Amino acid sequence: MANADTVTGLQLRSTAKKEGILEISLATVTTPEPKPEEVIVRIEASPINPSDQGLLFAGADLSTAKVSGTTEQPVVTASIPPAALRAMAGRVDQSLPVGNEAAGVVVRAGTAPAAQALLGKTVAIVGGGMYAQYRCVKAVACLVLPPGTTPAEGAAWFVNPLTALGMVATMRTEGHKALVHTAAASNLGQMLNKICLKDGIGLVNIVRSAEQAEILHKIGAKHVVDSTAPTFMEDLTNALVETGATLAFDAIGGGKLAGQILTCMEAAINKTAKVYSRYGSNVYKQVYIYGGLDLRPTELNRAFGMTWGVGGWLLTPFLQKISPADALRLRQRVVAELKTTFASHYTQVVSLQEALHLSHIAVYAKRATGEKYLINPNKG
Amino acid sequence: MANADTVTGLQLRSTAKKEGILEISLATVTTPEPKPEEVIVRIEASPINPSDQGLLFAGADLSTAKVSGTTEQPVVTASIPPAALRAMAGRVDQSLPVGNEAAGVVVRAGTAPAAQALLGKTVAIVGGGMYAQYRCVKAVACLVLPPGTTPAEGAAWFVNPLTALGMVATMRTEGHKALVHTAAASNLGQMLNKICLKDGIGLVNIVRSAEQAEILHKIGAKHVVDSTAPTFMEDLTNALVETGATLAFDAIGGGKLAGQILTCMEAAINKTAKVYSRYGSNVYKQVYIYGGLDLRPTELNRAFGMTWGVGGWLLTPFLQKISPADALRLRQRVVAELKTTFASHYTQVVSLQEALHLSHIAVYAKRATGEKYLINPNKG
């Protein structure tokens, strides 16, 4: 039998209405009865990642945001510009749960031994709908956190750590020897620096301010270039000569940056080229765009020969492509280094209700480096 | 011993001078004595392909072109804009021979039996420096043309036919089932249509005028869309739904076209999608840019999810990647279908001297669909 206090719970929902209105609300949902192989996790920590915000905000203009509803169940509304609404055609009028990853305590379990064995354990989980008080998941999908690890320490176990490890694994699989990373002072970027320092991999960090450069220098980053500096192209080319990086992961997406990276890679390669080729070098150069901090079009001037590629990169297809054994190894590394390499730092821990305060939305929606929020749906 | 009349010959040269001047001239060069395994080919036909013109013109502003020199050895000069000159840094002040492919008659041969066997044969060759009266090549690299095939019929055996076959082979290797091609009424595009019709492959042709559409309809093309039509995006999406094409080869390069193709591919895929994914479909979409008819930057609005790639594509790396057996099969097909699938049509046959007439340059430099030049360096 279920404990009375787990029968229902609040769950954050985002709806893009066909009238062009975003509505974020807290729905009261019935916690399902776990099937034999399932468990119910009481969520105690779930980060607000940039990758959650596309689903959460549906491209709405947050300067128009208003709050209504009650203290316990506030409702945020904001208008969605027509262009953004068209891009949301696939989700219009659907009330969607939000939140990619979380950690919490198993409070109920199905009858199967694997499920029963998790009762009372602190586990990390993934799969959407984590901004909720309770989440039903398969026992086999739970990552049991080591004793002494809090839900807050384990909540961001999936998106950033596996993305950073996935970048390094992609580099190896595709035959590159060093990496470039943009928006590099982010939580993810800091993890990537720790991995590359530990594993002896060259990493060129591109940041957009002196302050961000300082964050990275403090954690020991070797190559940091500032795209707002007048010497950016020269600085980047020099760092590419030193590292030999021919693969970049770009969180910015829009504007000229992806093309500038390819141009500098080609210039770095040609510093050692011996023969003129009108098609450019034959060294393959790749930029993977994995984020869209700049929503403008990507502008490629193609001043980098013919041996190049630009494409999208996502964690889920990467994980589907690698072997189960490789995927397991990556998860094991995350657990082993959860308090070191993969430690996340939060500026705020908020309840579901507080996550809907306009004052908080104004901060976390900026997705500014150094401002990271954690939701505790059972805070109180 | 060499015949007296093959001891020297004229060879077209292109030089980008550091002062920002392009110089195209006809140098008198000594024909080398063939080594045992080599032969001397008297070139009788060599096409002016778009892929030759980058090397030939070095980005010069042809509205400034002037002719000097003699009737037998004219010299064309033109100024190279500073930006283009910077891109030519790797070739500055080098006198470079031009011309990718040709056909002619073997007039001298080294002592090896394989070379001797070619004496008097009409052969097709490739490798640069073909705008010349004589070219020394390895016997093993000669493709002997079938009896009854003229040099003019065999000259364009390599660049366009193998590029068209390479596109189809790339489609198969990378798991796509149909193709999109831009600037599709070109000589190459017509070959690609003939291949696809013969092999039962779906092909969406993108053209830039009603006249070009008509050229393709006349040779039986099934899917032709005009990028200048107001219904272009809708027409393209419909053709993509009908063919299932998820791979495009783009000769244009600059502007929005590559991104529009990806956007329409995504729209076509989503017409049958059942579940909303905020990252777009998980069907991989690729545009390969293999030309630069539009020199502006490539502008990608990224309205096509995260499962996509844009990159450069060149014939030579493709041929290096496939097995020698596969490469041989492609060449054998070209020879077998030289007068049908791979027939080229020329509007002018010119001598080396005539190729340097400003009136001819003004025509072939436009690289207009339907205007194709053949050089016969031994014409006269």
Q: How confident is the model at residue A1 (pLDDT cuts 50, 70, 90)?
A: very low
Cβ-contact B225, B203 below 8 angstroms: no
List all residues of chain B from 37 to 56 with a beta carbon under 8 Å from chain A.
Answer: 54-55
SS3 B143: strand
SS3 B231: coil
Position B153: which residue type? E
Contact B91 A301 (CB under 8 A): no
To which H or E segment does residue A311 belong? strand A308-312
CA distances from B49 to A182, B157, B331 (A): 40, 12, 19
Nearest CA in chain B to A255: B299
| DSSP β-ladder status, B134-138 and A294-300 | unpaired
A90 touching B, CB under 8 A? Answer: yes
Name all contacts of B334-340 with Cβ < 8 Å and 24+ positions apart: B334/B157, B334/B158, B334/B161, B334/B162, B334/B165, B335/B143, B335/B145, B335/B146, B335/B157, B338/B145, B338/B146, B338/B149, B338/B153, B338/B154, B338/B157, B339/B149, B339/B153, B340/B194
What is the reported pLDDT for B200? Answer: 97
SS3 A269: helix
Contact A276 B87 (CB under 8 A): no
Which residues in chain B have their CB less than 8 angstroms from residue A289's CB? 302, 306
For residue B174, give both structure tokens: 């990378």
CA distances from B293 to A175, B14, B223, B365 (A): 32, 21, 22, 11
Sheet with B253-255: strands ordered across: A253-255, A294-300, B294-300, B253-255
Count Cβ–Cβ pairs < 8 Å, chain A vs chain B: 93
A147 touching B, CB under 8 A? Answer: no
Position A307: which residue type? T
Cβ-contact A182, A250 below 8 angstroms: yes
Mean pLDDT of A138-160: 95
Q: How confident is the model at residue A127 (pLDDT cuts 50, 70, 90)?
A: very high
Is the confidence at residue B99, as pLDDT, over 70?
Answer: yes
Nearest CA in chain B to A53: B278
B310 touching A, CB under 8 A? Answer: yes
SS3 B223: strand
For residue A284, give both structure tokens: 């393959």
Q: How confident is the model at residue A86 (pLDDT cuts 50, 70, 90)?
A: confident
Q: Is B100 left (phi over 0), alpha (psi -120 to 50) or beta?
A: alpha
Nearest CA in chain A to B290: A306
CA of A214 vs chain B CAs: smallest distance (Å): 31
B329 alpha-carbon distance from chain centroid? 20
Cβ-contact B291, B253 below 8 angstroms: yes
To which H or E segment does residue B329 belong? helix B324-336
Give the separation between CA B283 and CA B276, rounded to whole angstroms.
Answer: 14
What is the reported pLDDT for B277? Answer: 74
pLDDT digits (tens, 9 = 90+) for B198-243: 999 999 999 999 999 999 999 999 999 999 999 999 999 999 999 9
Least confident segment among A77-86, B30-39, B107-116, B163-172: A77-86
Nearest CA in chain A to B270: A90
What is the reported pLDDT for A152? Answer: 97
Contact B312 A305 (CB under 8 A): yes
Contact A91 B276 (CB under 8 A): yes
CA of B23 vs chain A CAs: smallest distance (Å): 17
What is the reported pLDDT for A279? Answer: 79
Nearest CB to A253; choose among B277, B302, B312: B302
Contact A311 B313 (CB under 8 A): no
- Surface-to-core class of residue A60, CB atoms within 10 Å of its CB (0-12 exposed, 13-18 middle, 19+ buried): buried
Nearest CA in chain B to A253: B302
Residue A179: which of A199, A215, A204, A162 has the closest Cα? A204
| DSSP β-ladder status, A143-144 and A122-126 | antiparallel
Cβ-contact B26, B356 below 8 angstroms: yes
CA of A312 vs chain B CAs: smallest distance (Å): 5
Helices B324-336 and B159-173 meet at what angle, rounded to 10?
Answer: 130
To which H or E segment does residue B15 belong? strand B8-17
Nearest CA in chain A to B305: A312
Mean pLDDT of A120-135: 97
The C-alpha angle with vertex A360 and arms to A356 and A363, in degrees rounded to 5, equals 135
Give the separation between CA A179 and CA A246, rounded to whole angstroms.
Answer: 7
pLDDT digits (tens, 9 = 90+) for B25-42: 999 999 999 999 999 999
Residue A337: which of A164, A167, A100, A78 has the closest Cα? A164
What is the reported pLDDT for B1? Answer: 37
What is the reported pLDDT for A341? Answer: 96
Contact A292 B300 (CB under 8 A): no
Give the separation between CA B331 and CA B14, rounded to whole angstroms.
Answer: 30
pLDDT digits (tens, 9 = 90+) for A32-54: 999 999 999 999 999 999 889 98
Nearest CB to B308; choose among A297, A300, A312: A312
Q: How many residues does chain A have?
A: 380
Which residues in chain B have their CB less than 8 angstroms from residue A312's CB? 305-309
Is the confidence at residue B4, as pLDDT, over 60?
Answer: no
What is the reported pLDDT for A339? Answer: 95
Q: How many CB atoms lie within 10 A of CB A98?
A: 24
CA of A53 vs chain B CAs: smallest distance (Å): 11
CA of A4 vs chain B CAs: smallest distance (Å): 34
Nearest CA in chain B to A260: B297
B158 touching A, CB under 8 A? Answer: no
B90 touching A, CB under 8 A? Answer: yes
B87 touching A, CB under 8 A? Answer: yes
Best B310, B315, B319, B320 member to test A by mutation, with max A CBs in 10 Å, is B310
CA of A173 vs chain B CAs: smallest distance (Å): 17
Q: What is the ipTM of this complex?
A: 0.87
B175 touching A, CB under 8 A? Answer: no
Q: Tell me which DSSP letter residue B149 carries.
A: -
Residue A100: which of A54, A184, A158 has the closest Cα? A158
A253 touching B, CB under 8 A? Answer: yes
pLDDT digits (tens, 9 = 90+) for A233-260: 999 999 999 999 999 999 999 999 999 9
Contact B308 A303 (CB under 8 A): no
Strand (E) positions, B161-218? 178-182, 202-207
Q: How many CB atoms lie within 10 A of CB A341?
A: 20
Q: Is A132 left (phi over 0), alpha (psi -120 to 50) or beta?
A: beta
Q: How confident is the model at residue B2 (pLDDT cuts 50, 70, 90)?
A: very low
- Surface-to-core class of residue B28, CB atoms within 10 Å of its CB (0-12 exposed, 13-18 middle, 19+ buried): exposed
Cβ-contact B78, B22 below 8 angstroms: yes
A9 alpha-carbon distance from chain centroid? 26
Nearest CB to B300; choose among A90, A297, A306: A297
What is the reported pLDDT for A3? Answer: 46
- Surface-to-core class of residue A275, CB atoms within 10 Å of its CB (0-12 exposed, 13-18 middle, 19+ buried): exposed
Which residues in chain A have their CB less than 8 angstroms from residue B307's CB? 312, 314, 317
Q: Tell me which DSSP letter residue A5 carries.
A: G
For residue B123, give both structure tokens: 């052969």
Those residues whose C-beta lies under 8 Å from the C-beta of residue A23, and which sit 6 or more positions away, are A13, A14, A15, A17, A75, A76, A77
CA of B297 vs chain A CAs: smallest distance (Å): 4
Contact B309 A307 (CB under 8 A): no
Best A49, A55, A98, A276 member to test B by mutation, with max B CBs in 10 Å, is A276
Cβ-contact B239, B223 below 8 angstroms: yes
Cβ-contact B100, B128 below 8 angstroms: yes
Give the separation between CA A103 and CA A115, rounded to whole angstroms.
Answer: 16
Give the separation between CA A147 and CA B206, rounded to whole angstroms.
Answer: 62
Nearest CA in chain A to B262: A311
What is the reported pLDDT for A314? Answer: 94
Which residues in chain B have their CB less than 8 angstroms from residue A302's CB? 253-254, 289, 292, 297-298, 312
Give the separation between CA B173 and CA B227, rounded to whole angstroms.
Answer: 28
Is the confidence at residue B3, as pLDDT, over 60?
Answer: no
Contact B278 A55 (CB under 8 A): yes
A94 touching B, CB under 8 A? Answer: yes
A300 touching B, CB under 8 A? Answer: yes
Give the separation between CA A213 and CA A215, rounded to whole angstroms.
Answer: 6
SS3 A19: coil
Q: Which residues are A374's β-sheet partners? A: A47, A349
Q: Is B245 left (phi over 0), alpha (psi -120 to 50) or beta?
A: beta
Q: How confident is the model at residue B55 (pLDDT cuts 50, 70, 90)?
A: very high
Is the confidence at residue A272, as pLDDT, over 90?
Answer: no
Contact A289 B273 (CB under 8 A): no
B292 touching A, CB under 8 A? Answer: yes
Nearest CB to A302; choose among B94, B298, B313: B298
What is the reported pLDDT for A288? Answer: 98
Residue A29: which of A355, A352, A348 has the closest Cα? A352
